[in-house]
Amino acid sequence: MCGRFAITMPNDAMAQLFRAAPANALPEVPNFNVCPTTQVHVVTSEVNARRLGSMRWGFVPQWYKTPTDGPLLINARAETVADKAAFKAAVRTRRCLIPATGFYEWTKDADGNRLPWYIYPKDGDLLAFAGIWQVWDKGEEPMQTCAIVTTAANTAMSKIHHRMPVVVTEADWPLWLGEAGHGAARLMQAAPEDAMALHRVGRTVNSNRASGPQLIEPLEDQEASPNS
């Protein structure tokens, strides 16, 4: 799964990278602790033009009477996304990219303590998670919501967690966004074994209120710091 991530690229640089027109109001960056139900950056393709906008991370199906009327849908499984009632229309016609610098996962020690890890691209490039989106219009104002598509982890990642986000490479952005015809289903697979790096980070990030660049620093660097 993917339940927390970081995004550090400035909004103007993000818009330039994706060749997308930026919305007037975008989430603040850098954010080293992006949490579910908050607004996240989302790239969509609309009438032959890309848009960098903002959506609530937490997909809300049309039949929910309120945003909390059912489970919080922050992820959609690649293996079942085309069949699930909540997601099947979106994966056909409303696919998006969700930019990230890296993401977090957790293991547990012998005492059950949650030990966070930070996973990021080895080449330093920005990640583009495969996403789907939905407008929920049962409230006072329509709400744009999204979920991250996940798949079975590759061997390296499986040592930490059995799931990981689907990462779309730049060459495949047009296909996932629906700009390059059909066949996006083939993109819903794990990143190559050598594409990602990971390291343990401090348990401060276990709190959804934590912030700051220290959240992604390797644990051994923090322990060696005179201020740790």
Active-site residue, selected from the candidate residues 105, 141, 170, 179: 105
- Cα separation, 176 vs 184, whole angstroms: 5
- Cα separation, 145 vs 228, whole angstroms: 38
**How many CB atoms lie under 10 A from the CB of residue 60?**
26
96 is known as an active-site residue:
no
At 63 the three-state DSSP class reads: coil
2 is known as an active-site residue:
yes
Q: Helix-strand-coil percent breakdown of the chain, rounded to 5?
A: 20, 35, 45
At 61 the three-state DSSP class reads: coil
- Cα separation, 179 vs 65, whole angstroms: 33
Tokens of 88: 């099947």
Distances (CA, A) of 46 to 12, 43, 68, 131: 19, 10, 28, 15
Distances (CA, A) of 179 to 182, 197, 217: 9, 30, 37
Active-site residue, selected from the candidate residues 2, 28, 170, 217: 2
Mention every residue, 6+ apart, whose C-beta is less than 8 A from residue 195: 121, 122, 123, 167
Q: Supply the residues annotated as catalytic.
A: 2, 105
